[in-house]
Amino acid sequence: MSETFEPRILSFLCNWCSYAGADLAGVSRLQYPPTMRVIRVMCSGRVDPGYVIDGLQKGFDGVFISGCHIGDCHYIDGNLYTLRRMAVVQELLDLSGIGRERMELKWSSAAEGQVFADNVKKFTQQIQELGPFDPAPWSLSLSALERTLNSPRMRWLVGSSRQLTEKKNVYQETMPEADYQAIVREAAAEEFEKAMISVVIAEQPRSVREMAELTGLPVYTVSKRLNELERKGQAGLSGYDGRTPRFLGVPV
């Protein structure tokens, strides 16, 4: 990759820690690449997972999120929710083929200007090695990721993560972390597959084989996910091309 490539990185910084750390790096004249396009948020917990996908859709080469160290959140546990949510985003980025390397989550305090500068340098170098991100070839995957993160199933799983793994149920039991992560990975894969199918049939009827060719999914998987979409009223039979049924998405 040419040394002239300067990444455009969308950055979300917590007001109380990482943004203040960035300010300290500036007044201390610490050197780091001018690659960040910063959005200040009151807490890293306010960064919706969909913002990461939106940033990539808009042509940013990477997305950087930084907040207070775990245990030091000004809103008690906002960054714990950030940690959970962004782990799901990383999993989905890997599933899509884009790769989790396009996103970074780091912690730094208001007194750690050097830490912030080092984090920016490291992530910038990482993106330079990956090269520019062109959203056009990934339009299907990005649209599917957006749908996946907005699906009620994923919203519930991510939002209930701490409730499930840290608090006891009526039987005085908590779900083991490994079991929770396995459920999330399985749900993420299934929802992403359904989302890709939903995208390709959103505006034009498709046969199962056409869906398989466009999404890269096996025909069996397409048939299975299509049946699930039909049961939920999100897809329906549009007609036949000879003897081949064609399906169209139903707006929800």
Same domain, 121 and 169: no
| pLDDT score for 252 | 66
| pLDDT score for 84 | 92
In degrees, rounded to 5, the angle at the alpha carbon of residue 204 between the alpha carbons of residues 202 and 206 is: 100
> Does residue 67 lie in a domain region?
yes
The total number of structural domains in the chain stands at 2
| pLDDT score for 2 | 46
- Give the end of a domain, one of 131, 161, 185: 131
Same domain, 13 and 112: yes
pLDDT along the chain (252 residues), means of 10: 80 96 93 94 96 97 97 93 94 97 97 96 96 97 97 93 88 91 96 98 96 97 97 96 95 72
Dihedral of the alpha carbons of 182, 183, 185, 186, in degrees to the nearest 10: 110
Q: Show the domain range for 234.
A: 151-249
Residue closest to 150 by CA, chosen among 159, 140, 137: 159
Q: What CATH number did the domain enclosing 236 receive?
A: 1.10.10.10
| pLDDT score for 171 | 84
Same domain, 123 and 184: no
